[in-house]
């Protein structure tokens, strides 16, 4: 199952039962997420999504791939502050607008860029929790991090500290179908937070997002248009409980073991795909809301 190219014919579809089921924001890359009732969409997706990031002494990004306890770092916006909490730690209060500290060279996969260091208080807090030298950096608004045109085609898109694209879209029915497979083998079912989407769409059939070209959220001049550009190949992070930062000792390789039986995708080198990466192609500055109707165009 995969998207066809952008030159394929499309058909616009809309049903009253297809809606935005949930909206999630992840202020600090690979840390806890926030469920939002509504959000503004800009060229970078959700404005403060993956706007902060943790890096090691070499400037390499840190994630739950190697530090699963990052799942238990929970950020929250409280007034003008970004308040960060974690087990056994006092709350860390930072300016929600960020701190324009010294620039620091960082790396996110193949991207090398200059970020803004968020100071010694943050370094000490995160280093103590992770038990290694870790700095918090903020995305530098003077920097442009382009998405791969191999997947975006004629659309020029940018992102912050996400793995590669500003938004991740998953249909609720896809998780329901995966959970049915897990339950059939006796494995525990999984919540959607294991897959860290930005938008969950209710009302599609399982994996229908694989065949969708564009989404239209809202109506009129303020409607937001998204293009689904690349299947999301999954790493081991969905195996980490986002509340405990641990794997199930009885099922440490789920859900990848189950996904391996039917979700290998040749378009991404045989990766096990679940969800679609998306970019913003219209309606920047528009507001999306949970429960909002969704229109889409299917690829053929």
pLDDT at position 10 is 53
Mean pLDDT of 286-300: 92
pLDDT at position 7 is 41
Mean pLDDT of 208-218: 96
pLDDT at position 6 is 38
pLDDT at position 14 is 56
pLDDT surpassing 90 at residue 99? no
For 20-29, 99-108, 126-135, 141-150, which range has the lowest pLDDT when averaged over its residues?
99-108
Mean pLDDT of 245-267: 97
Backbone angles phi, psi at 37, to 5 degrees: -75, -25
pLDDT at position 12 is 58
Burial of 47-68, coded b for 16+ CB within 10 Å and e otherwise, reads ebbbbbbbbbeebebbbbeebb
Q: Are 38 and 289 in contact (CB under 8 A)?
A: yes
- CA distances 148 to 228, 272, 277, Å, are 13, 20, 12
pLDDT at position 193 is 98
Calculate the average pLDDT of the chain.
93
pLDDT surpassing 70 at residue 9? no
For 37-41, 95-99, 178-182, 187-191, which range has the lowest pLDDT when averaged over its residues?
95-99
Mean pLDDT of 14-18: 69
| CA angle centred on 193, ends 82 and 210, rounded to 5° | 120
pLDDT at position 256 is 98
pLDDT at position 232 is 98
Give 11's pLDDT tier (boundaries 50, 70, 90): low
pLDDT surpassing 60 at residue 15? no
Mean pLDDT of 39-45: 94
Helix (H, G, I), strand (E, B) or coil at 1: coil
Q: Is this model's pTM higher than 0.85 or not?
A: yes
Share of the chain above pLDDT 90, in %: 89
């Amino acid at each position: 199952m995969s998207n066809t190219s952008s030159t394929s014919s499309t058909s616009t579809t809309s049903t009253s039962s297809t809606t935005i089921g949930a909206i999630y924001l992840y202020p600090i890359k690979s840390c806890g997420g926030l469920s939002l009732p509504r959000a503004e969409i800009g060229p970078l997706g959700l404005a403060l999504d993956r706007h902060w990031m943790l890096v090691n002494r070499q400037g390499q990004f840190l994630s739950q791939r190697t530090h699963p306890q990052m799942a238990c770092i929970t950020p929250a916006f409280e007034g003008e502050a970004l308040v960060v909490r974690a087990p056994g730690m006092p709350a860390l209060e930072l300016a929600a607008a960020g701190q324009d500290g010294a620039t620091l060279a960082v790396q996110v996969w193949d991207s090398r860029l200059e970020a803004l260091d968020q100071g010694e208080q943050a370094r000490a807090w995160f280093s103590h929790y992770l038990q290694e030298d870790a700095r918090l950096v903020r995305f530098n608004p003077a920097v442009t991090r382009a998405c791969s045109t191999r997947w975006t085609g004629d659309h020029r898109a940018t992102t912050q500290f996400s793995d590669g694209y500003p938004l991740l879209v998953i249909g609720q029915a896809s998780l329901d179908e995966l959970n049915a497979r897990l339950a059939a083998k006796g494995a525990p079912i999984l919540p959607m937070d294991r897959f860290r989407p930005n938008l969950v769409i209710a009302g599609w059939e399982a994996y229908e997002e694989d065949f969708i070209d564009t989404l239209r959220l809202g109506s009129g001049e303020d409607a937001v248009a998204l293009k689904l550009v690349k299947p999301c190949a999954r790493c081991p992070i969905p195996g980490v409980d986002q509340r405990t930062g641990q794997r199930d000792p009885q099922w440490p390789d789920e859900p990848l073991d189950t996904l391996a039986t039917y979700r290998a995708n040749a378009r991404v080198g045989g990766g096990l795909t679940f969800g679609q990466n998306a970019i913003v192609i219209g309606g920047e500055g528009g507001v999306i809301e949970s429960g909002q109707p969704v229109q889409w165009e299917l690829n053929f």
